[in-house]
Amino acid sequence: MGSMPNNGRAEPIGELIRQLRRRRNITQTELGAPRYSKSYVSAVEKNTIRPSPEALQFFAEQLDQPSDYFTSLREHPQDMKQEAALQGLHAISGQSTRDEGFHLLSLLLERADYSFIRAMEALPPLAPELIAALPPSEQANYFFLEGMMAHGRQEHEAALHALERALPLASAQLQPAVLDALGQHYYLTRSYATALHYHHRAFVLLQHAALRESEHALLFPVTLHCGEDYRALGAYMQACDMYERALPHLHAEHEMKSAALLYLGLGYCNYALSYQAAQALNAGEDVKLEEMERGFQRAIGFVVQSREIC
């Protein structure tokens, strides 16, 4: 049956097999028949076992891929995530392949899993007339992905152009992600007021969505980004409010860097507010000394938490 790789890390090849199987609308039983059981296929897709080369060859043939498709990817693991996202788009001019490729990209967007997007180097170029023939939501998906990858390459003007094309076409589900990406563009270019405009629009949309459904995966990063915008603008009270709102949405799956950024922002803003209170006290204004001291203590505590995470 095979064992886990020697370094103890699961291979992402199971995820690719699962995606290809679902796109072809076949069950795990059908994929494995007649050689492998449903439980074996399930374990492969969950990356709990390492399939043999013979099993990978069998699955590739079952999924209408070259027999060495999965074994070649195993030899080049750095290409695995990119292949998972791009598979099905190489023959983009074909109608059925185009539909399958955009369906796969839509699944990634629904999961708000942008790690796959960042692993992709570029989308296959489409002729303008082909893009125009797509439904508006698929056009928005294409432009959004194009913008995200341009950001990853630090091509900020190209990213802005693509994201601005995506926004008016985006579905209600995609709009918060596009708005957040636009906000990040303006934050990186130090246009903090404009960044806040887009981030706050995304925040409002996500709040409304959270009232109707379960918590949205973007709620933490968007709220954090609003806090960062306010901090950059010197609006420390509003920044603290947004950071505090982000705290309940911080979960284990979020990046350590984001958690450290949150606590550092809280520390910075609490210190800034307490420093302003100290200046007001020195100027003879009525300031509660105990509250000011608690502010400094909170600031120190948050900074320590930030350093412990890093």
Residue 273 has a pLDDT of 87
pLDDT for residue 284: 79
Average pLDDT, rounded, for the chain: 80
Q: How far apart are CA 181 and CA 176, in angstroms?
A: 9
CA distance 299 to 265: 9
The residue assigned the tokens 């690719």 is 16
Produce one character per residue of 257-292: b if its CB has 16 or more CB atoms within 10 Å, e if not. eebbbbbbbbbbbbbbbbeebbeeeeeeeebeeeeb
Residue 107 banded pLDDT, cuts 50, 70, 90: low
Question: Smallest Cα–Cα separation from 269: which of 305, 302, 308?
Answer: 302
**44 and 14 in contact (C-beta within 8 Å)?**
yes
For the segment 143-159, what is each residue's pLDDT rounded down to a tens digit? 998 898 888 888 899 99
Mean pLDDT of all residues in 88-112: 48
The per-residue pLDDT for 9 is 41
In the prediction, which pLDDT does 166 show? 95
Least reliable range by pLDDT among 85-94, 120-129, 176-185: 85-94
Structural contact between residues 150 and 159, judged by C-beta atoms closer than 8 angstroms:
yes
Per-residue confidence band for 234, with pLDDT thresholds at 50, 70 and 90: very high
17-21, 90-94, 107-111, 167-171: segment of lowest average pLDDT: 90-94
Query: Which segment of 21-35, 97-111, 223-237, 289-303 scores lowest on mean pLDDT?
Result: 97-111
Better pLDDT: 211 or 134: 134
Does the pLDDT value for residue 222 go beyond 90?
yes
User: Do you find a cis peptide bond into 34, omega within 30 degrees of 0?
Assistant: yes
Q: How far is CA 85 from the centre of its chain?
A: 14
In this predicted structure, what is the pLDDT of residue 134? 76
* C-alpha to C-alpha distance for 122 and 231, rounded to whole angstroms: 34
pLDDT for position 231: 94
Q: How confident is the model at residue 3 (pLDDT cuts 50, 70, 90)?
A: very low
Six-digit token string for 89: 């788009």
- Which architecture characterizes domain 1-85 according to CATH? Orthogonal Bundle (1.10)
Residue 80 has pLDDT above 80, yes or no: no
The string of DSSP codes covering 67-82 is: TTHHHHHHH-GGGHHH
